[in-house]
Amino acid sequence: MNLRVHRSLLLLLLLSVTLLFIRAIIPETRQIISILFFYIALSEVFNLFTGLTLYVCFGYVAFVALGMYGGGATIKYLLSAPNPPHLGVVLVCSFAVAGALALVLALAVGWISIRLKGAYFAIATIGLNEGLKNLIEGTGIWGGSSGLIIASDLIQAYNYETFIFVTTDLADYLIFAVYVVTI
């Protein structure tokens, strides 16, 4: 690697550490910094695809949505059991289902749409987003336009402190881990 790349990575590392330091000192910034890390990771993925293939893809919205809904539905299903499993098992299963659903959709759509060129590829991925949105909202699966509400299930199965940990701290750490992997 040349000096320019090292300097950019060092600057990015310094910025990341600074943001984590600010997050630790000022708790009110937790959400905005996590969202910032999420969008940085998303932009890296977008740059990887668009930069190397020169294709403009709008399908990432559908992949994220299907993964999120699939993971949330898995959590809701596992917590509806009379004796819910350990939280770690629930989270690992939900991550596995979320990743598998997004991967299957990406492979299916990619296999069909990669043959398209230029604007036709972009239109096909926009169509994927709209089709998935209409499927979720129109059929009412996974809560329709209201979405999945799993807060009460988590609180009932475990406790309020666990719910807060999973939805704030653990989510922030996982977003940061994805951010680190993408850079």
| Helix extents (H) in 26-86 | 30-53, 60-79
Question: Which burial class, exposed, middle or buried, applies to 182 when counting CB atoms under 10 A from its CB (0-12, 13-18, 19+)?
Answer: middle
**What's the rounded mean pLDDT across residues 8-16?**
83
| Total number of domains in the chain | 1
Average pLDDT, the chain: 85
Spatial separation of the C-alpha atoms in residues 37 and 62, rounded to whole Å: 20
pLDDT in tens, 54-83: 788 788 888 888 898 899 999 999 998 888
Q: Print the domain residue range for 142.
A: 3-182
Predicted pLDDT of residue 75? 92
**What's the rounded mean pLDDT across residues 121-150?**
83
- Quickly list DSSP for 93-140: HHHHHHHHHHHHHHHHHHHHHTTS-THHHHHHHHHHHHHHHHHHHHH-
**pLDDT band for position 5 (cuts 50, 70, 90):** low
pLDDT in tens, 16-49: 888 888 988 998 888 898 888 888 888 888 888 8
pLDDT in tens, 77-133: 999 888 889 999 999 999 999 999 999 998 998 888 888 888 888 888 899 889 988
Predicted pLDDT of residue 50? 82
**What's the rounded mean pLDDT across residues 153-182?**
86
Predicted pLDDT of residue 2? 66
Predicted pLDDT of residue 1? 55
Spatial separation of the C-alpha atoms in residues 64 and 133, rounded to whole Å: 12
